[in-house]
Structure 1
Amino acid sequence: MKSLDAYLPAYEFSTRHEVAIGVDPVRADRALREVTFQERPLVRALSLVRGLGTRRADDTMLATMVPRATVLEDVPGEGMVLTLTGQFWRLRGRGPEPPATAVIDFRALPGRLATETRVHVPDPVSRRKFGRYWRIIRPFSGLIRMLVLRAAKRRAEAA
């Protein structure tokens, strides 16, 4: 898979999470794609709070992201790269500010599962607004990512 630099080389906000895993990348990637909200009810609850979640516990977490995102790269056995654009700092509607661009990857690498999020906000006003939003949302977003990675690890290593 391409580096995230190929998709979003300039960004102002980022976060990265990973877990060590004792299976090959193909098995790890399959497990990551199969993790459901039923395995991690807290992820479902946090997603529903923000209006991003699903009503069904048996939906896979990655599959619920795809309708709202554009898949930039999807390589079975390696991972997936998605992009979203929007005014993430706004709960509803659109303002006059230009949208931000987010790129998110989920990768199965030898010995680890990883995810990284990068966000580019094109102008100073939007950047300040997104920065306030990011300070609030980042810990919860990070928690969701770690719970997903740990669920995938558990699923892959149990198979």
Structure 2
Amino acid sequence: MGRPEPTTLDEALPRWHRREVHRLPVDLPAPTLMRAATEVTWADVPLFRAVMIGAGLGRTPFPADAPVLDLFLGNGFTLLHRGEDELLVGGIERISRGQPVVPLAPGTTPDAFRAFDAPGHLKLAFDFRCAGGVLSTETRVYATDHRSRRLFGAYWLVIRAGSGLIRRVWLRGIRRRAARDAGSVSRA
């Protein structure tokens, strides 16, 4: 088996300190799944919603009809790439209490994201990708200095299990929504 084709995630964050990958078999076209990834709502992923409400101690609303991706895109992350078979989101966060998110301008390229290297920051990127009958999500985190890497490493130990759970729930929500959308198209 050969090496898989490079992804836009590989361009944006070729090196990382923490990484998580989850996969789910699918039998739907990639464009349908990528559309569902942008449209899946909190109602489509109730367990994910419950975890997020609990983590925020109920301070942040997660309206059932709001797209999940909007939470990220409305909080400093940006869509770095949208293709027929891959959707890539990236964000930069400071390791400080002040203003933790460094807002990325719409249209930020994977190359510009990769080039950011100011100390005291984390570069976070995640994708949804469909290839070979598999829908996957990969999350990568790169710390720009040793202190940030050490602090995030401790945080990662605490959140990793929950992070994996919500990503698997998110994938299943995308697959369900895509199947539902594909079914309504075929019946039309």
Alignment TM class, shorter chain as reference: 0.7 to 0.9
Q: How many equivalent residue pairs?
A: 155
Tell me the distance in 2 between the aligned counterparts of 1:13 and 1:53: 27
User: What percentage of residue pairs aligned between the two structures are identical?
Assistant: 34
Alignment of 1:113-152 (within 5 A): 113-152=135-174
Question: In 1, distance between residues paired with 2:158 and 2:60?
Answer: 18
Quote the residue 1:5 is aligned against: 10
Q: CA deviation at 1:149?
A: 0.5
Q: Identify which of 52, 60, 68 aligns with 1:61.
A: 68
Give the distance between the partners of 1:71 and 1:29, measured in 2 at CA: 13
Unpaired stretches in structure 1, ≥5 consecutive residues: none
Q: Deviations along 1:11-33, whole A, 9 cap, x unmatched?
A: 11100111000111122222222
CA contact (8 A) 1:53 1:64 kept: no
Alignment-derived partner of residue 40 in structure 1: 45
- Alignment CA distance shift 1:28-1:53 (3 Å): farther
Which 5+ residue runs of structure 2 have no aligned equivalent?
A: 1-5, 101-118, 184-188
Q: Which moved more, 1:98-107 or 1:47-56?
A: 47-56
When normalised by structure 1's length, the TM-score is 0.85
How big is the alpha-carbon RMSD for the aligned residues of Structure 1 and Structure 2? 2.4
Secondary structure of the equivalent of 2:74? helix
Say which SS state the counterpart of residue 43 (structure 2) adopts: coil
User: With structure 2 as the length reference, what TM-score do the two structures score?
Assistant: 0.73
